[in-house]
Structure 1
Amino acid sequence: MSDLVLTDVSRWYGNVVAVNDVNMHIGPGITGLLGPNGAGKSTLLSMMAGLLPPSSGTVTIDGQPTRGNIAIYQRIGLVPVQESLYDFLTGTQFVRLNADLQRVAEPDKATRFAIDLVEMSDAADRKISTYSKGMKQRIKVASALVHNPEVLLLDEPFNGMDPIQRRHMMGLLTQFAEQGRTIVFSSHILEEVEQVARQVEVVVAGRHAASGDFAAIRRLMTDRPNQYLVRSSDDRKLATLLLADPSVRGARMRGGTALEVEADDFGAFAVLVPKVARAGGIRIFELTPTDESLESVFSYLVNS
């Protein structure tokens, strides 16, 4: 098991700051790296992999710097976002190339195993130039896995994959996490990140905006109201009773069948609703937070 630590990491290109004073501690399991285009995700992954030196700060795996450290490189698998590959090679040749570069003991066996993992055996002897976008993604993943790395870094790994391929890749990542590997991946497919990674690191404009469980992050955002959908036996009466409490910012009817409520304090609201309902003789049929999805949290953080 490996710990990936970024300490006061910045990276700039001339006068352009790509990453600014980022601190992260990423342990075994799956971590989703989120941020809008241009936020610095790819730059961060490149520094984690040791391909790009920080302008300031340090990136280490188990206390060892990643940059220029051959022993560390052998523990890392990187799937870059770039689609440019050695198109004149076959899939097998491409994966075998990385096996040779990593000095894998049984390169042929490792190559076949990695290609089987990503379900590319049927196309392994075709040239990469004939591959679809999704196939290129999978062969890149095979190449990153061929030396059995402890740390796996993937930049937009689901790009171009169809739903079946995505589910398979999600299953692979989950399997690797259960083995104790450290996995970091960026993705714009937020609902899939929510399914695979409860731990998220959010980067906005090169800065580290948030870290942790996405629902916990949302609950800590006390400057914005929590939003709920409530269905009850008497929505109008419930709205009146709830609005009498100072923690409730607003309540409105939703299509005559439910109530939308905004409240400041998650814990206080969870206690308030049953208390008010019981006092008013109202039955609660549903109480659902509507803004704890990863997409909602990400939107809040980006637009803050």
Structure 2
Amino acid sequence: MIAVNGVSKFYRSVVAVSEVSFTVDRGVTALLGPNGAGKSTLFRMLCGLTPPSRGTLRVLGADPRRDRAVRGSIGLVPQQDALFDHLTADEFVALAARTHGIDRTDVVEVSRWALTQVDLADVGTKTVGQFSKGMRQRVKVAAALVNDPQVLVLDEPLTGLDPVQRRRMIALFHRLGDEGRCVLVSSHVLDEVARLGSNVLVVAQGRLVATGDYRDLRELMDDRPHRIRLGSSDPRRLATELVRLGLISSLSFGDGGAVVETSDVDALGRQLAPLAVALGVRLDEVRPLDDDLESVFRYLVEGR
């Protein structure tokens, strides 16, 4: 549903995005990167708000910069917090509906539906200027839904939301993706991305440094041993045998368990349970310590 091929964006001598290529289909995809990585610039190009300096972008098979119909199939939640503060939520979302050419007889119904999706249907006559940061984020999401978009581009949409609303919004994104939409969500918060889903695009310094399931991305770190915590009834006996068999390269003990390092996690996984049974050792825990998104991100972006 989205195809980006060799895209770069220059602002005079500043390179905001450099030679980025990827494809995205229906469902939820997270775009991960630190502030200033080029995420917002990439989103602006996907929505047709600015042209690429080099390369091509296609949304639903068309150029969003030139094809008005395709732009009408995109919903955008910008990172910027610039809203019409004198309007109520109903008025703000209704205005978004009218700008998409929705018939006046349907505007009220569409606006109420969109506000219901983000739990803002009952805010009454309170103006957007009186909203909290989280409420302002949610009203932007409502405005992005009024045209029933096939592609949703959400730039840091979870900023300022409390934990309950964050869970509800993530559930909404997944529901929209399950309905066949392409939902592309950016974030610089690692925990958010892990909750959004496993399909991740990692951007750093304007470049796409990795793409895929973040658990699979850990396999890119082949030059580093895997760290695994083993909890057992006799961690010293178990670890000693693992060393003897050459399955681990280092270990340490603490809190009733052992932390081991291995360069062959598959071999360790195959032999660990049978070995515990043979030794008469109860195996309580096998927990990877560096298969989390933070480890992957730190390795890919910072090289450590």
Q: TM class, shorter-chain normalised?
A: over 0.9
Amino acid in the other structure paired with 1:221: M
From 98, 101, 124, the equivalent of 2:99 is 101
Whole-angstrom distance in 1 between the partners of 2:18 and 2:297: 19
Question: SS of the counterpart of 1:240?
Answer: helix
Equivalent runs, 1:33-48 vs 2, <5 Å: 33-48=31-46
Deviation at 1:133, TM superposition (A): 0.8
1:20 maps to 18
Q: Identity over the aligned pairs, expressed in percent? A: 42
Question: SS of the counterpart of 1:171?
Answer: helix
Whole-angstrom distance in 2 between the partners of 1:104 and 1:66: 20
**Pairing 1:155–2:155 present:** yes
Whole-angstrom distance in 2 between the partners of 1:225 and 1:66: 44
Deviations 1:194-234 (A, max 9, x none): 12311011011111111111111113321222111101232
From 14, 30, 51, the equivalent of 1:32 is 30
Whole-angstrom distance in 2 between the partners of 1:65 and 1:146: 22
1:168 maps to 168
- Greater mean alpha carbon deviation, residues 282-291 or residues 207-216: 282-291
Deviation at 1:246, TM superposition (A): 4.9
1:144 maps to 144
Is the 8 Å Cα contact of residues 157 and 185 (structure 1) preserved in structure 2?
yes
Deviation at 1:74, TM superposition (A): 0.7
**Pairing 1:177–2:177 present:** yes
Is the 8 Å Cα contact of residues 222 and 265 (structure 1) preserved in structure 2?
no
Whole-angstrom distance in 1 between the partners of 2:60 and 2:229: 45
1:127 maps to 127
Deviations 1:254-294 (A, max 9, x none): 23x11111111221221242354355443322211122222
Deviations 1:3-34 (A, max 9, x none): 11110111121111111111111110000110
1:59 maps to 57
2:2 maps to 4
Equivalent runs, 1:150-299 vs 2, <5 Å: 150-246=150-246, 248-255=248-255, 257-278=256-277, 280-299=279-298
Cα 1:124–1:152 change in 2 (3 A) is farther
Cα 1:264–1:26 change in 2 (3 A) is same
Cα 1:59–1:247 change in 2 (3 A) is farther
Question: SS of the counterpart of 1:126?
Answer: coil
Cα 1:193–1:124 change in 2 (3 A) is farther
Cα 1:191–1:115 change in 2 (3 A) is same
Question: SS of the counterpart of 1:122?
Answer: coil
Equivalent runs, 1:64-75 vs 2, <5 Å: 64-75=62-73
Deviation at 1:240, TM superposition (A): 2.4
Question: SS of the counterpart of 2:119?
Answer: coil
Question: SS of the counterpart of 2:249?
Answer: strand
Whole-angstrom distance in 1 between the partners of 2:34 and 2:192: 16
Is the 8 Å Cα contact of residues 239 and 252 (structure 1) preserved in structure 2?
no
Whole-angstrom distance in 2 between the partners of 1:249 and 1:57: 46
Cα 1:135–1:181 change in 2 (3 A) is same
Amino acid in the other structure paired with 1:192: E
- What stretches of structure 1 of length at least 5 have no aligned partner? none
Amino acid in the other structure paired with 1:42: S
1:82 maps to 80
- What stretches of structure 2 of length at least 5 have no aligned partner? none
Is the 8 Å Cα contact of residues 33 and 200 (structure 1) preserved in structure 2?
yes
Is the 8 Å Cα contact of residues 7 and 55 (structure 2) preserved in structure 1?
yes
Whole-angstrom distance in 2 between the partners of 1:274 and 1:122: 55
Whole-angstrom distance in 1 between the partners of 2:127 and 2:234: 65
Deviation at 1:130, TM superposition (A): 1.2
Question: SS of the counterpart of 1:33?
Answer: strand
Deviation at 1:88, TM superposition (A): 2.3
Aligned length: 301
Amino acid in the other structure paired with 2:55: G
